[in-house]
Structure 1
Amino acid sequence: MKQKLLISGLAVSTVGVTSYLLKDKSNRQKVKNFIHSIKSSFSGKPNIDSFPVSKAGNPHPENIEDNKMVSEGSMYPVQYYDEKKK
């Protein structure tokens, strides 16, 4: 009985806090944009425009991790990009 009461109290308080936070129009728009971005990331269709192709193979001189990966000749990013492009 106590567990049901605890869960229902938690649910009611969550709904109340959410309602209060979404009262403002700008907060609602932020939540809508966030949900849209989550949905698009799970849609299954890769967004080719989101790949950082402009810096592929030519990393910034101060970006040590990218420089190390390019100097090692890692083929993983190339294979990943080719798979997503298909």
Structure 2
Amino acid sequence: MNSRPLNSYLLAGVGITSVLLLANKANRNKVQTVTVKFKNMIKDRFSNENLPLKKAGHPDPQDIEDNKMVSEGAMYSVTYYNENEQQK
């Protein structure tokens, strides 16, 4: 069954409904207020201040243990790849 006519009717219905709702200035103000609140909520949730990262992407060259851990992690992936290629 072709769903294209259904999608176009649904899209037209949403468009007509939004035009009718936004024709009134009070409704426009309500929609704008809700939109701003939603945008601020999303911005607060994904702000950089909430991330628990302290030194991501900029390791200290003098932190030997951290550098050792990073190099071991890099070697793990290389070793895993090499083992899988040798099995083929």
The TM-score with structure 1 as length reference comes to: 0.49
Larger Rg: 2
What is the TM-score with the length of structure 2 in the denominator?
Answer: 0.48
The higher-RCO structure (CA 8 Å, 6+ apart) is: 1
